[in-house]
Structures are given as structure tokens and as C-alpha cells.
């Protein structure tokens, strides 16, 4: 049986007085690693650890009456998918950059994974992938619109532009989805605040869909990018087939790794022309240290995923 339990969680709820240090200390004492974000609008993050330790942290969170109904999505890993524990206080638990978006009270209609197919197969429904372009590139739902954003903060401008272009109006049925549910929940709250009447989002996100819906009935195509060392997952939340460029942090297929521009820890076809030769030499030296540490079965700072992209 795999050694490490992974929990992806979030909840939009008013948190005015949450402190980071007690939670950080608790996680460390139980061997739990990952990232948790705390803000006035709620909590968001993914953590992993031994099962008993992880469940102790979840129980601690739920002892707060405001987080009593906190839900999470579970998966397992043979290896610890994180290299350290971070608890950060933020302005937003998912950065949209728009004031007065109250997802805890204004989110659109939740749609359970078992009911999602029926909704998105309706030809009158506009299906929108709320994730960033590099995530969409390795997998999405059939017929979903890709806004081609580089960060979640660009989505409101895209919605405004598409409304003006006639893609949808305030009465259009719009279904939105994202990795774990947090971005689409906040997106539907934003749209409702703008006067849209019929907005829906996938409860639990793609991860819950891949966990719940059998592959034979699935409308999902490809793999789902995740923000940990697994890089991507497939149905059943089994690890996928993508690697990660440690320089530009973009997912790489086997074909990408076969490119003449791919040098592990130094460059890939996405970033090979973005750095000077001097920097490539430094990256090459770092990679040598990573490989030496790997041979000694040790961790190396160069292997960490601590500069994650916008979620």
C-alpha cells in the first residue's frame, strides 16, 4: 500500500483571525508537508503525509466551527510529493484581483460529478475551462472553451471581452470547471455579481470527477495537471505520464522530453531560448548536484517544486 496520503482541500468561509504558526507547527510535528493558504475569504491547499498524521491535521482544522464542514479529496502516493511545509497568510486564497467577490455566498449552482455529463452535453450550455493554458494543454473536457489565460487574474477580463463579443449573455447557461473546484466556484461568484443568472460549476472539480466517474462514461480527454511532484493524474487519480521542466515549470510529455532542446534541469522546448549560456551552465551545475544527491538517496533543493505557478 502507498505510504503517503494526499489531501486537496479548500473552503470559502470568513476567517478574520486565523494564525499560521500553530498550524505550521502542528503539520511539522505530524510529518505533513505541502502548502496551505489562509485568507479572510477562507482556506486552500494540498498537503500530504502519513495517514495518521494527515488525519490529525484535518481533525484539527475541523475543530474550528467555521471549518466543521470542510471537505477534502484524497489520493495516495508511493513517495512524498512535497519537500517542505508552508502555511501562508494571503489576501485571497485564489488570486482573482477583483474586490467584493463573495464566493461563500454568491457561488453558482453546484453540479455533482455524476450529473456533470448531462449538463455539458446540452448544446445550449457554454462550457468554460477556468484553468490556465499550460494546464488545459494536457487535458480538458470535450468541447470546453480554453480562455488561454496565463493566470487566474486574467479570467474576469476574458469574461468581459467574450460577453461583449456575444459568446454569452446574462441569461446564457454557463458551466465552469477547474482542478479542485476553487477557481470555478469563485468564477461563478464573479459572474453572478456581474448579473449572470445561470452559472454552474463542477463540485469537487476535475479531481472529484476523475475519482468518481468511470473512464468508460467519462467525457474527460487527456490528463489533469496537479501542483505537486506527481505533475498529472488520470482516472482513479492514478499518477499520469507527464514530467516537469524544473526551469519553466511547464508539463512535459515523453515527446517533449525527446526534443533536441530538452536537457534535464537545464531547458526544454518551451524555455531553451529564454536563458543565457551562462545561466544554462549554472543550471547544468545544479543538475549535477541533484543527480549526485539522487544517487545518495538524498533530497536536493534543486528538486523542489517551491516556485509553483498560479493555481
End-to-end Cα separation, the chain, in angstroms: 30
In the chain, how long is the greatest CA-to-CA distance?
Answer: 60
d(CA 234, CA 236): 6
Catalytic one of 178, 184, 245, 268: 178
- Comparing CA positions, the residue from 217, 233, 216 lying closest to residue 225 is 233
Cα 197 to chain center, whole Å? Answer: 27
Known catalytic membership, residue 268: no
Q: In sequence order, which residues have a C-beta less than 8 Å from that of residue 10 and are 6 or more positions away? A: 42, 43, 44, 45, 93, 94, 180, 181, 182
In the Cβ-directed half-sphere of 231, how many Cα atoms lie within 13 Å?
Answer: 15
- 259 by DSSP, 3-state: which? coil
Q: In sequence order, which residues have a C-beta less than 8 Å from that of residue 223 and are 6 or more positions away? A: 138, 139, 232, 233, 234, 240, 241, 242
* Dihedral Cα 199, 202, 206, 208, nearest 10 deg: 170
d(CA 181, CA 264): 32
Q: Which residues pair with 200 in a beta bridge?
A: 109, 175
Cell 487527456, residue located: 222
Question: What residues act catalytically?
Answer: 178
Amino acid at each position: 500500500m502507498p505510504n503517503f496520503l494526499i489531501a486537496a482541500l479548500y473552503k470559502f468561509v470568513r476567517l478574520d483571525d486565523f494564525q499560521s504558526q500553530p498550524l505550521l507547527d502542528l503539520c511539522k510535528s505530524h510529518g505533513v508537508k505541502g502548502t496551505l493558504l489562509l485568507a479572510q475569504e477562507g482556506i486552500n491547499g494540498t498537503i500530504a503525509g502519513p495517514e495518521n498524521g494527515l488525519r490529525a491535521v484535518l481533525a484539527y482544522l475541523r475543530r474550528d466551527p467555521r471549518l466543521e464542514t470542510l471537505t477534502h479529496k484524497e489520493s495516495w502516493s508511493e513517495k512524498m510529493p512535497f519537500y517542505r511545509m508552508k502555511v501562508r497568510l494571503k489576501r485571497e486564497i485564489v488570486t482573482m484581483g477583483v474586490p467584493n467577490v463573495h464566493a461563500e455566498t454568491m457561488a453558482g449552482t453546484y453540479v455533482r460529478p455524476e450529473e456533470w455529463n448531462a449538463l455539458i452535453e446540452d448544446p445550449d450550455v457554454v462550457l468554460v475551462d477556468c484553468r490556465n493554458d499550460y494546464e488545459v494543454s494536457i487535458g480538458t473536457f470535450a468541447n470546453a472553451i480554453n480562455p488561454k489565460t496565463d493566470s487566474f487574474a486574467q479570467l474576469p477580463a476574458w469574461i468581459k471581452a467574450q460577453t461583449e463579443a456575444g459568446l454569452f449573455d446574462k441569461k446564457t447557461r454557463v458551466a465552469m470547471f477547474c482542478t479542485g473546484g476553487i477557481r470555478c466556484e469563485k468564477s461563478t461568484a464573479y459572474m453572478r455579481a456581474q448579473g449572470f443568472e445561470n452559472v454552474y460549476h463542477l463540485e469537487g472539480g476535475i479531481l472529484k470527477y476523475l475519482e468518481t466517474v468511470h473512464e468508460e462514461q467519462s467525457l474527460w480527454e487527456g490528463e489533469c495537471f496537479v501542483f505537486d511532484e506527481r505533475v498529472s493524474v488520470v482516472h482513479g487519480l492514478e499518477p499520469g505520464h507527464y514530467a516537469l521542466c524544473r526551469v519553466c515549470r511547464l508539463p512535459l510529455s515523453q515527446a517533449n522530453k525527446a526534443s533536441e532542446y530538452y536537457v534535464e534541469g537545464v531547458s526544454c522546448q518551451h524555455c531553451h531560448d529564454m536563458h543565457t549560456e551562462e545561466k544554462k551552465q549554472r543550471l547544468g551545475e545544479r543538475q549535477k548536484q541533484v543527480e549526485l544527491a539522487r544517487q545518495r538517496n538524498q533530497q536536493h533543493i534543486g528538486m523542489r517544486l517551491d516556485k509553483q505557478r498560479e493555481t
